[in-house]
Amino acid sequence: MRFKKFLSVLMSVMLLGTMTLTGCGKAAPSSTANSGNSSVMVGSKDEKYVMVTFVSGISYWKGAYKGMEDAGKNLGISVQYTGANEYDINQEVTVLEQVIAQKPAGILLTCINADALKAPIDKAISQGIPVITFDSDSPASGRYSFLATSNYSAGQNAAIALAKLVGEKGNVAVVTQPGQLNHEERTAGFKETIEKQYPNMKVVSVQSGESDQIKSAQVTAGILQANPDLVGVFATEASTGVGVATAVKEADKVGKVHVVSFDTDKGTLDQIKGGVIDATIAQGTWNMGYWGTMYLYNLKHDLLKPIDGDWKTAKVTPLPPSVDTGVTIVTKDNVDYFYSK
């Protein structure tokens, strides 16, 4: 709700800025399709904004790029998607350097490694190319804002969803990936919510599935054997969730052991339709792409005026340093909307 209110305020501010600048007669970027009516919120197809990711072929990024495409259509600008094919730090740095050399209007970037991406991010900004990060950050860099899921809050939402499924009582478990901050935050949000809000529930086991479907199935089978009264499992990522579902099905405990997973890959969605996974946490990837692009456009066109003067020289930020892009609970009722097209 807080995020929706923020978006409403942001759009109001941008609309006010448009009216003010147009009323003052200042020149604004225009598009040939604009019928002669200039507007600061209408760009040019010659203006290109680029999204850079790592493991660029995975379906997770599709939602973010769809958001970027939608923003591009609304603004009349061009957008492009690229990234490192592998989970390789040097490869993403190389791709980013190549993008910077093309001098795009702005870069929307997810960072495979915070330290490794700092220098090229700062290089882009020094050349007048604004950079917004999403999903994975480089907080020590000069990036203007970071849009992502609050993983702790997502874990809280998972706890609430699972509690409803099990009638707010019984023993539950977590299959996660220790050592990765996002997974640790999801686990912490889940555990602390269960402990504080559901006195008749208990987290009896937290195990590593190593982000691997087969390993997660093996681990879950062990948890089920050691805890025959288990009523629920939270899996902190998609491959883990499918592995958990496999173990629950093989143990003939579908409907007896409820599963809440994370993300919306096809395997997870299929397990929801099949009734093995009860719910999954969908991240607001579209928000990341859409609003990240809007931020870049506003920065590039100098539409943000937090003070009367040069905010860069004054070291005043015109954007929130970080934005929680929210989550959606996906169940059988709405699962069909989340399949990639």
Same domain, 180 and 201: yes
Least confident segment among 8-17, 90-99, 261-270, 310-319? 8-17
Query: Average pLDDT for residues 127-135, to the nearest whole number?
Result: 97
Query: Average pLDDT for residues 325-339, to the nearest whole number?
Result: 96
Note the pLDDT of residue 11. 46
Same domain, 122 and 162: no
Note the pLDDT of residue 30. 34
Same domain, 104 and 124: yes
Identify the CA nearest to 335 among candidates 272, 284, 276, 243. 272
Q: State which residues form the domain around 107.
A: 48-149+285-303+319-326
Query: Average pLDDT for residues 292-316, to the nearest whole number?
Result: 92
Residue-wise over 314-331: b if at least 16 C-beta within 10 A, else e?
A: eeeebbeeebbbbbebbe
Q: How far is Cα 230 from Cα 194, in angstroms, rounded to an integer?
A: 15
Question: Percent of the chain, pLDDT > 70?
Answer: 88
Identify the CA nearest to 26 among candidates 11, 39, 36. 39
Those residues whose C-beta lies under 8 Å from the C-beta of residue 70, and which sit 6 or more positions away, are 286, 289, 290
Residue 288 has pLDDT above 70, yes or no: yes
Q: Are 261 and 246 spatial neighbours (Cβ–Cβ below 8 Å)? A: no
Evaluate whether residue 246 is within a structural domain: yes
Query: Average pLDDT for residues 119-138, to the nearest whole number?
Result: 97
Same domain, 141 and 290: yes
Residue 286 has pLDDT above 60, yes or no: yes
For 231-253, what is each residue's pLDDT tens digit?
A: 999 999 999 999 999 999 999 99
Evaluate whether residue 37 is within a structural domain: no
Least confident segment among 13-27, 71-85, 114-128, 150-164? 13-27
Same domain, 126 and 199: no
- Please give the residue that has the higher pLDDT: either 53 or 310: 53
Note the pLDDT of residue 40. 60
Same domain, 144 and 171: no
Evaluate whether residue 102 is within a structural domain: yes
Which CATH number fits the domain that encloses residue 270? 3.40.50.2300
Q: How far is Cα 84 from Cα 70, in angstroms, rounded to an integer?
A: 23
Same domain, 156 and 227: yes
For 34-77, what is each residue's pLDDT tens digit?
A: 433 344 667 788 999 999 999 999 888 999 999 999 999 999 99
Mean pLDDT of the chain: 89
Q: What is the 3-state secondary structure (H, E, C) of 306-328?
A: CCCCCCCCCCCCCCCCEEECCEE
Q: How far is Cα 266 from Cα 339, in angstroms, rounded to an integer?
A: 7
- Distances in Å between the Cα of 305 and the Cα atoms of 30, 265, 319 are 21, 40, 10
Same domain, 115 and 157: no
Same domain, 289 and 278: no
- Distances in Å between the Cα of 164 and the Cα atoms of 147, 201, 339 are 29, 11, 25
Evaluate whether residue 196 is within a structural domain: yes
Note the pLDDT of residue 10. 46
Same domain, 75 and 171: no
Domain count, the chain: 2
Q: How confident is the model at residue 28 (pLDDT cuts 50, 70, 90)?
A: very low
Residue 2 has pLDDT above 60, yes or no: no
Q: Which strands make up the sheet holding 279-283, listed edge to edge?
A: 201-208, 170-176, 230-235, 258-262, 279-283, 327-330
Same domain, 97 and 142: yes
Evaluate whether residue 217 is within a structural domain: yes
For 100-120, what is each residue's pLDDT tens digit?
A: 999 999 999 999 999 999 999
Identify the CA nearest to 51 among candidates 105, 110, 113. 110
Same domain, 268 and 166: yes
| 8-state DSSP, 337 | G
